[in-house]
Amino acid sequence: MTFTILPEELEKLDAWMKTKNLNKYGGAMGGRFTYSFTPTSIGMAIQVTDAMEQKDTIDISDYEGW
């Protein structure tokens, strides 16, 4: 199964990532960010969670494209 992040969603993600201190150690496996893809009947909902920043989460879903 392949999950795709659209350019519009990537722009939101990039802007959010720029607010993060990416120099923090994310663990041996680098599992700092969790990407959740939830298929719905009208589109794909995508959330990204930062485990190092008190589980800060952003929803990057392109609802306008649904």
What pLDDT, on a 0 to 100 scale, did the predictor assign at position 21?
80
What pLDDT, on a 0 to 100 scale, did the predictor assign at position 52?
82
Residue boundaries of the structural domains of the chain = 7-20+29-65
One-letter amino acid of 60: I
**What value, to the nearest 5°, has the Cα angle with vertex 40 and ends 57 and 16?**
20
Q: Tell me the per-residue pLDDT of 16-60, one tens digit each, with 9 for 90 and over.
A: 999 988 777 766 676 788 999 999 999 999 999 998 877 799 999
CA distances from 8 to 34, 44, 47, 63, 65 (A): 19, 13, 14, 10, 9
Residue 13 has pLDDT above 90, yes or no: yes
Would you place residue 6 in the very low, low, confident or very high pLDDT band (cuts 50, 70, 90)? Answer: very high
Q: For the whole model, what pTM was predicted?
A: 0.82
